[in-house]
Structure 1
Amino acid sequence: MKFKVTERDITAEFPFAPMNISPNEEEGYRPFQLMVASLAGCSASVYRRILAKQKIEYDEMTIDAEVERTGDDVNKIEKVTLYFKVKGKDLNEKKLQKSLEIASKNCSMVQSVIGSMEVIEQVEAIEA
């Protein structure tokens, strides 16, 4: 990865597209947003793969994220809660939650922050 730093922002150069990073969300993604997005994106990717292997079909999956920060000068992320909503027919919520726990244990981003912040993942089955 390569990053170009200017007084206004930081641009990450990626093969897909460049990405602006800035403390001002009108000029780019804020660093904490990227952290939460990496947790949600990694978890969702691993979870989707596990559900496919288990032949669990669903129509739609969304994730709502809540972030708790320290509020001090550092404003460190203390806790991220990811609420997965899986919409489909005849979904077993207990099986979905168990699969999500397996996904969390196999998500490199979640495992990378264990000990630094709390990551909670919950799932809700929504009947289609």
Structure 2
Amino acid sequence: MKFHVTQDEIKTETNFGPLDISPNEDEGFRPFQLMVASLAGCSASVFRKILNKQKVEFDEMTIDADVERTGDDVNKIEKVTLTFKVKGQDLNRSKLEKSLQIASKNCSMVQSVIGSIEVIETVEVIEA
């Protein structure tokens, strides 16, 4: 990836179009948002792949991400809680929880931040 940095913006071009990065939410994605999106996106992709292999069918999956930051000058991310809400019929909560644990162990983004960011992943089952 190549980034173009000016006084006002940071941009990169992706296969899907431009990506604007900024400390100002009105001008682009904030860096911490990209970090959280990487954790959620990677974990969800691996989780979905595992559920597909296990032939677990679901109607919908959403993820709520809560972020705790230090609040000091650096304001680094200390903790990310990802709550996977899986909607479907006759879902086995225990199986979903075990699958999510496997996903977390196989998600490169989650594994990359171990030791610096606490990542907690939980599952909520929503009956359809």
User: Which TM-score tier does this pair reach, normalised by the shorter chain?
Assistant: over 0.9
Taking only aligned residues, the RMSD between alpha carbons, in angstroms, comes to 0.5
How far apart, in 1, do the equivalents of 2:27 and 2:125 lie?
36
Give 1:56's aligned residue: 56
1:13 to partner: Cα distance:
1.4
Question: What are the superposed Cα offsets for residues 70-125 of structure 1, whole Å, 9 maximum, x if unpaired?
Answer: 00000010000000000000001111011000000000000000001100000011
| AA of the residue aligned to 1:39 | L
Q: What does residue 21 of structure 1 align with?
A: 21
Q: What is the CA-CA distance between 1:16 and the residue it aligns to? A: 1.6
1:9 deviates by: 1.1
Paired with 2:15 and 2:56, the residues of 1 have a C-alpha distance of 33
| Aligned length, in residue pairs | 128
Relative to the length of structure 1, the TM-score reads 0.99
Instruction: Determine the structure 1 residue equivalent to 2:94.
Output: 94
Q: Which residue of 2 aligns with 1:10?
A: 10
What does residue 112 of structure 2 align with? 112
| TM-score, length basis structure 2 | 0.99
Match of 1:75? 75
Dislocated runs of 4+, deviation >3 Å: none
**Amino acid corresponding to residue 61 of structure 1 in structure 2:** M
CA distance in 1 between counterparts of 2:29 and 2:18 reads: 12
One-letter amino acid of the structure 2 residue matched with residue 14 of structure 1: T
Identity of aligned residues (%): 78
| Superposition deviation, residue 6 in structure 1 | 1.1
> Which residue is 2:125 aligned to?
125
The 2-side partners of 1:16 and 1:127 are apart by 35
Gaps of 5+ in 2: none
Deviations 1:3-50 (A, max 9, x none): 111111100111221100000000000000000000000000000000
